[in-house]
Structure 1
Amino acid sequence: MNYFKIYLAALLAVILGSPDTSVAQDRPLYRWRSHLPYNEVLGTATDGNQLFVAGRWSFFTYNLSDKEITTYAKEHGMADVGLSCIGYDVLNQTAVIAYANSNIDLFKDGTFSNIPFLKLKNTSGDKAIYQVYCDAGKAYLSTGIGVLALDVARKEVKETYSFSDASGTYAVYNFASGKDTFYAATAKGIYKTAKTNAMIQYGASWTLVDASRAYKLVAVSQGNVYAASADSVFQIHTDGSFSLLFTSPGSVMRHLDPTDKGLAVSSWNATRYDGSIVHFDATGARLDSFESTNPMMVSQTLDGTLWVADQTNGLLNKSERITPSGPRGIGGYDLICNDRKVYVAHGAYDDRWNLRLNREGISVLDNNTWTTYNLYTFPPFNDLVDAVRMAKDPTDNTLYIASQVNGLFWLKEDKSAGNLRETVFEPHLIDPSSYRLSGVAFDGDNNLWVTQTDAPHELMARSAKDGQWYKFGLPSTRPRPYFENGAAGLIIDDYGQQWFFSPAGGGLLVYNSKGTLEDASDDEYTRLQMGVGLGNLPDNQVQCIVNDKKGVIWVGTSNGIGIISCPDQVIAGQCETEIRVVQYDNFAGQLFNGEVVKTIAVDGANRKWVGTGNGVWLISDDAGKIIFRFTKDNSPLPSNSIQTIKVDPVDGSVYIATDEGLVSFHSTATDGGAENKNVLVYPSPIRHSYSGPIAIKGLVNNADVRITDVSGQLVYRTKANGGTAVWDGKDYTGRRPQSGVYLIFATNSDGTQTYAGKMVFIK
């Protein structure tokens, strides 16, 4: 190849302003982004103008002055995911955030500081944090082992107030402060003590106010002291007597919150599945009330508005709802992503493929906005339960959703929708009221394939030619305890064969209809298991299957990965699984031996993203090298338990669904095309202060890429990862280039596809 001629032609194109040269901005590489639900709000606190909102899985702020919503996650400095409660210390202008795992963060001016004292504390007791109450520079955390008094300014736990008897230490559920007195609602009753008590750390020095009822809430407002039992609120008088303020039989008192006029009472009725906020003045007169679906607590801002933390509908008041855009749930049992449009199936199953009856449906991310389709938001999907697999029709973009309970749902771009259930599919052999679909995929001829579990036929297909449905079954070679005719994890290989596995240890199955859906007489199939001559799988418990860009089948099992390099010869018995031995660092062994490999995804460079119960790996095309290794401890991953991974072929982002939420990582590989098209360079221009990677996207597949100065001196050379080349911004001597224009030249292996562009370094 004559690179000199290519260089001259490209240089002339750059100088003259070639019309195919485009420079544009895009998101930085290696950036993480969390995609969390914001509707399940557990608590809120305020400085009077800004609200700090703790969701079950997320945290955000809302500023009343400019109406700005700001979301935060681990990539912004949060220590964990999964919150439990929140408080605000006025003296230090700091929000105190408690996590469900007993971790603690302090949040001030957009910055988080972690205090893992309780999370790391070695104790066999209940370390759950039930409430954060802030007063005069301290945060009092009500926990299962007592009250932790946290000095907010010093960022340290100063002391613990413990309550115990012969049976052991008992929990404190709520804490409040009067002018001179502290109050604690414990598992054994309401206690109080003077703030000046020198023995305050010992519960025995506190005075028991009342133990006649099970109290979990206490509050002080306008000089009055209140306590709540399961369904009633009482005022505690100075003489120790109690008077009933409010009762709601059948309801649960969720929280008592002081206001500038009196007390706000949040309650919830599990039978009616609704709740209310009742506002009382200091005399006990009812000022106001309004309904809330699932209220958890109330904060009052300086304008007098009562803001409700609602476990179903986010942050709200009487007239408005403030909820950042996010998916409906944390689960992601299947993902589809393309050019930043993402579909998430929230349905669920356990390790034995049992139903979870999840009704969160699906969520769709489009143009940075999430839309949910389920029984609460979209009537056609009112019986969409356990949505576990999805596929898009390549001809019209219709989305098909496999439900483990109610058959196959469809959703068109015009929002028309429906369900193919009794009209097409077969009921479950044991539970005939259900239609348990477990997979859906399109083949190269646009035929729609579906797998069923515990039905007479594992496979069904709709012909793209005539719209007819055809059924396919394999002889029962999987006796109990395997699923009868069980099928899951459906994919179609490059030869039009259907691959699926039998849940709960039934091995891997391959079916070939020979391209004649209407004629089953020539069909062939086989079953792969452990053992030489039987398929040589690493384990009969198959978890996932993927077809890579070279047509090789990768099989994730409960004991590592198997590789099938000749899938067209499998049914003939001429190809078995390779259990590859690889060397990582100083250790050699079978590929992911001992790991339960839940998911494998292939990126534009044919590299493999592997998800297990211990995090995520990115390995090279041939599995010989580990490129990235992510866990919840070294990355914004919310959990090490990975459910699904998918790669956006256009954007290069890797979407990782865990059991505690969805995140994405902007990686370096995209699908390369047959030609250079819509090439982007980002960031652009490249400022002297920027030290991150520089990406060139939209290149021909695996292009040879060279970067030179304007005189033609080579600065850097690399090979594209699929359609994206990455440069660290340094020349071969490790130095940053001087300010100025630099030229980009890219070509495929035979020189028939070339590209010329430029990038600019500025101070």
Structure 2
Amino acid sequence: MIKRLIVFIICLTPLLQYAQDFSALWKGHFSYNSIKEVVQGNNKIYAAGENAVFSIDLISNEIKQLNTVNGLSGESISTIYYSDTYELLIIGYENGLIEIAFDNDDEILTVVDIVEKPTIPAVQKKINHFNPYGNLVYIATNYGISVFNLERLEFGDTYFIGNGGGQIQINQTAIFGNYIYAACSGGNGLKKALVNSPNLVDYQNWQTVTTGDFTAIETVEDKLYALNTNRQIFQVTNDVLNSLFQYNTTPLEVKNVFGNLVVTTSNNVFVYNSSFTLLSQVAISPDFSTQYVSTTTDANFIYLGTTDFGVLKTSLTNPTTFEEIHPEGPLLNIPFSVEAEPNGVWVTFGDYDIFFNPYGLNSRGISHLNDNKWVNTPFSDVLDAKCLNTITVNPSNNNQVFISSFFNGLLEVNSEIPTKLYNEKNSGLESLILADNPNYVDIRVGPTAFDDNGLLWTVTSLVDKPLKSFNPSNNTWKSYSFSDIIQSRNLGYGDMVIGQDGTKWIASYEHGFIGFKENGNSFSIKNVKTEEDNMPSIYVTALGLDNRNQLWIGTVSGLRVLYNTSSFFEDDINVDEIIILEDGIAKELLFQQFITDIEVDGSNNKWIATADSGVFYLSSDGQETIYHFTNDNSPLPSNIINDISIDGTNGIVYIATSKGLVSFQSGSSSAFDTLDRAYAYPNPVRPTFNIVDQKVKIKDISENVNIKITDIEGNLVAEAQSTTNKRYSGYNLEIDGGTAYWNGKNLANNIVASGVYLVMLSDLDTYETKVLKLMVVR
């Protein structure tokens, strides 16, 4: 009989909590290429990636994902186990966290007992293995063994079985006969104790079978097998170890699957019966250059967890052909830079550190989400360009993309194919110069941006003329020096934005922010960095130019705004902090925050990324924090935010964190010049649509607009104006950039009746008008 959770137990257990499902507005874009463990159960294969899980239905072949959007923590997974008896998946983490996902249930149960145990050092809380026994599961950890009751969903005893009751690393446990066996590290060997003993918490009830370092212990029918760090596997008979085989490479996993012993090494998988007769051996396929990490089987197939291709499926009896199985996603879970477009987002995986040091020169490819399909280009196809960072799409040709390399120059990609690498030999780009090695080539291209004339502007670190313009149409380059303001070669430049007047605004490592503007054959250049200018730091990391031509400046120590950019080169400049009231006390907005990116959406609101505090979504003037997303209240897998990019057409905000990429459907979109494309949806509004919460959207409206909604007889139902009825202010009809939202309520705050309603749009600048008909059916 299937046993399920009794609800009141959860209510009485303070260390169990349900995680929220965020799937309505959020989407996870995780990589499932690198697998930690695969297990089977309930006619499914479950595969744990670095911080997310997916399942494969063996009957329908349906793939489902389980990640932070569904309520997972986003922490690093170390092991998983599926219980057919209790219909649940247990996920163990390197930090000691345990999460439980129930079949046919949208919520995740989080168990924080180990994480919050103060007597166990953080480095020793890693979950290594789950071993079921009746209604219990024995949890092998880096401190000992903990017991968890699957029926009551609560912890029992913890066994510290080192000398004197000390904490030692247990890699795996197994039940054999009347005993529980533990495979231990640190020379503690194999230990055993009577499994039904009432006093297993007393270390003196644990016997040492043998000394040494053991990584695995497993029972198969009436046999007990153990593996040590010398790559030897033993059969344990009457506590005597009989060596059976020594592997060429260290086995990573030993498990019992359907009465067979499965041993996984990085380049081979061995399937034995209970008598250790080899039934199947799977070597690395020439078609999939990877390493194996974990294995499970069913009656006919072997499922191999790999480091590069998710799960590979092959025949148990004739493992010669392989099928690659995993959800679509980017190459890696460490996005460094993102660039959104109407059809998706480009992703690179960098990187350089806060001191703009790119070493040790990572070799990673690029990923592109295009029309809901991921196109992944491995490093072998990016013309040897290392440390890829900033991405810029040509606004006049969306198929042409330029990607900065912080070691090799500038990569050009056309229609998904890397076609040219610009360097010191074929462009105006320059290498830094090493006095002791003048032939060394290191071209550190960082921020890039297109201007309104179709020129691509780039900034290179550690050269005399860092700012360069490139005309893709005729392959011409120009270089500009910063020597008027920087007497030494600057380590790096964190960001660049270009104003409507052509001014290039550049964030520098130790020279504040820089303004550069061409004036015919000459140019003006100026920087602001000192405390006298009210700058909180000389290290500027992010810039955002908003719809009012105000420059928002992010530093390692807070936020500033340059309100008057038009007279920057003529006047003495002071930047301003933003003062807000918090509980009646005046405070500086984002005081001492390390800001990594600033983006402006279609309604002139600001998205601000931080190095350790998640994402802030601010009103246009910064006086209201609309959202503050962290990994505690949202699907962010980490509070370390590397980059943000906004798809202004569809209102999607892409957020690159240190542990993966997620997106948020903000609904904000850019305004249009005219009302030609304006429309309302859904239309008709059917009874199944929750009009109050989901709201009717009036899309593609102009920037300064008045909206009136009337019934068919002309009675006013709702009214809004761009300058007054801002979104998140509680109006029945709200405007956010190029989109308005109506909750279906009239002036009396009642939901309207069924009928035809007129949406009358009036542009307050051009006097253009448009009328939309909207059908509401209740």
Q: TM-score, normalised by structure 1?
A: 0.89
* Whole-angstrom CA distance in 1 between matches of 2:156 and 2:689: 42
Displacement of 1:502: 2.3
Which residue does the alignment assign to 2:111? 115
Residue 285 of structure 1 pairs with residue 277 of structure 2: yes
* Whole-angstrom CA distance in 2 between matches of 1:32 and 1:314: 24
Which residue does the alignment assign to 1:469? 477
Which letter does structure 1 place at the counterpart of 2:208? L
* Whole-angstrom CA distance in 2 between matches of 1:296 and 1:154: 32
Residue 402 of structure 1 pairs with residue 404 of structure 2: yes
Identity of aligned residues (%): 24
Q: How does 1:345-356 map onto structure 2 within 5 Å?
A: 345-356=348-359
Q: Which runs of 5+ in 2 are unaligned?
A: 1-21, 285-289, 315-321, 723-734
Residue 722 of structure 1 pairs with residue 719 of structure 2: no
Give 1:511's match in structure 2, choosing from 509, 516, 536: 516
Q: Relative to structure 2, which stretch is displaced further, 652-661 or 699-708?
A: 699-708
8 Å CA contact retained: 1:567, 1:575: no
Change (3 A) 1:291 1:422: farther
8 Å CA contact retained: 1:639, 1:660: yes
Q: Relative to structure 2, which stretch is displaced further, 722-731 or 609-618?
A: 722-731
User: Stretches of 4+ moved more than 6 A in 1?
Assistant: none
Which residue does the alignment assign to 1:294? 291
Which residue does the alignment assign to 1:331? 334
Which residue does the alignment assign to 1:609? 607
Displacement of 1:334: 2.1
Which letter does structure 2 place at the counterpart of 1:687? P
Q: Relative to structure 2, which stretch is displaced further, 107-116 or 84-93?
A: 107-116
Give the aligned length: 714
Displacement of 1:264: 1.2
* Whole-angstrom CA distance in 2 between matches of 1:470 and 1:240: 77
Residue 443 of structure 1 pairs with residue 451 of structure 2: yes
Which residue does the alignment assign to 1:421? 423
Which residue does the alignment assign to 1:487? 493
* Whole-angstrom CA distance in 1 between matches of 2:472 and 2:75: 45
* Whole-angstrom CA distance in 1 between matches of 2:259 and 2:613: 52
8 Å CA contact retained: 2:356, 2:492: no
Q: Secondary structure at the match of 1:157?
A: strand
* Whole-angstrom CA distance in 1 between matches of 2:371 and 2:230: 45
Change (3 A) 1:385 1:743: same
Q: Which runs of 5+ in 1 are unaligned?
A: 1-27, 269-274
Displacement of 1:36: 0.9
8 Å CA contact retained: 1:89, 1:138: no
* Whole-angstrom CA distance in 2 between matches of 1:380 and 1:446: 27
8 Å CA contact retained: 1:693, 1:727: no
Q: TM-score, normalised by structure 2?
A: 0.87
Change (3 A) 1:98 1:678: farther
* Whole-angstrom CA distance in 2 between matches of 1:338 and 1:96: 38
Give 1:34's match in structure 2, choosing from 28, 36, 46: 28
Change (3 A) 1:149 1:639: same
Which letter does structure 2 place at the counterpart of 1:286? L
8 Å CA contact retained: 1:451, 1:488: no
8 Å CA contact retained: 1:702, 1:721: no
* Whole-angstrom CA distance in 1 between matches of 2:177 and 2:681: 59
* Whole-angstrom CA distance in 2 between matches of 1:391 and 1:686: 42
Q: How does 1:94-133 map onto structure 2 within 5 Å?
A: 94-111=88-105, 112-125=108-121, 126-133=124-131
1:721-762 deviation digits (Å, cap 9, x = unpaired): 111012233334333223333332222114633232233433
Displacement of 1:527: 1.7
8 Å CA contact retained: 1:89, 1:135: no
Residue 744 of structure 1 pairs with residue 759 of structure 2: yes
Give 1:322's match in structure 2, choosing from 321, 325, 329: 325
Q: Secondary structure at the match of 1:119?
A: coil
Q: How does 1:316-715 map onto structure 2 within 5 Å?
A: 316-318=312-314, 319-356=322-359, 357-375=361-379, 379-397=380-398, 398-413=400-415, 415=417, 417-423=419-425, 424=427, 425-430=429-434, 432-463=440-471, 466-475=474-483, 477-478=485-486, 484=490, 486-503=492-509, 505-514=510-519, 516=520, 519=521, 522-532=522-532, 535-612=533-610, 613-684=612-683, 685-687=685-687, 690=690, 691-694=692-695, 695-715=697-717
8 Å CA contact retained: 1:29, 1:666: no
Q: Relative to structure 2, which stretch is displaced further, 350-359 or 57-66?
A: 350-359
Which letter does structure 2 place at the counterpart of 1:395? S
1:276-311 deviation digits (Å, cap 9, x = unpaired): 11112223222221134222222222x342212223
Change (3 A) 1:194 1:486: closer
* Whole-angstrom CA distance in 2 between matches of 1:29 and 1:286: 45
* Whole-angstrom CA distance in 1 between matches of 2:538 and 2:184: 51
Displacement of 1:436: 0.9
1:233-261 deviation digits (Å, cap 9, x = unpaired): 42233232223333233x22100021335
Which letter does structure 1 place at the counterpart of 2:508? S
1:492-544 deviation digits (Å, cap 9, x = unpaired): 122212221222x3322222222x5xx4xx12211211233xx4323211110
Change (3 A) 1:189 1:733: farther
Displacement of 1:80: 4.1
1:652-707 deviation digits (Å, cap 9, x = unpaired): 11111111111111113101111124444344534356242322211122422222
Change (3 A) 1:629 1:702: farther
Q: Secondary structure at the match of 1:692?
A: helix
Q: Secondary structure at the match of 1:193?
A: strand
1:352-404 deviation digits (Å, cap 9, x = unpaired): 121153333321111211122231xxx43152321110111223231000011
Displacement of 1:640: 1.5
Q: Secondary structure at the match of 1:410?
A: strand
Q: How does 1:137-148 map onto structure 2 within 5 Å?
A: 137-148=135-146
1:168-212 deviation digits (Å, cap 9, x = unpaired): 31121112223433221112111122222222233321221221x
8 Å CA contact retained: 1:570, 1:576: no
Q: Secondary structure at the match of 2:262?
A: strand
Displacement of 1:34: 1.3
* Whole-angstrom CA distance in 1 between matches of 2:153 and 2:384: 49
Cα RMSD after superposing both structures: 2.3
8 Å CA contact retained: 1:348, 1:355: yes
* Higher-RCO chain (CA-CA 8 Å, sequence separation at least 6): 1
* Whole-angstrom CA distance in 2 between matches of 1:165 and 1:288: 41
Displacement of 1:227: 1.4
Which residue does the alignment assign to 1:214? 213
8 Å CA contact retained: 1:89, 1:137: no
Which letter does structure 2 place at the counterpart of 1:360? R
Displacement of 1:322: 0.8
8 Å CA contact retained: 1:380, 1:417: no
* Whole-angstrom CA distance in 1 between matches of 2:418 and 2:336: 24
Displacement of 1:37: 0.9
Change (3 A) 1:122 1:737: farther
* Whole-angstrom CA distance in 1 between matches of 2:104 and 2:582: 40
* Whole-angstrom CA distance in 1 between matches of 2:473 and 2:172: 66
Displacement of 1:416: 5.0
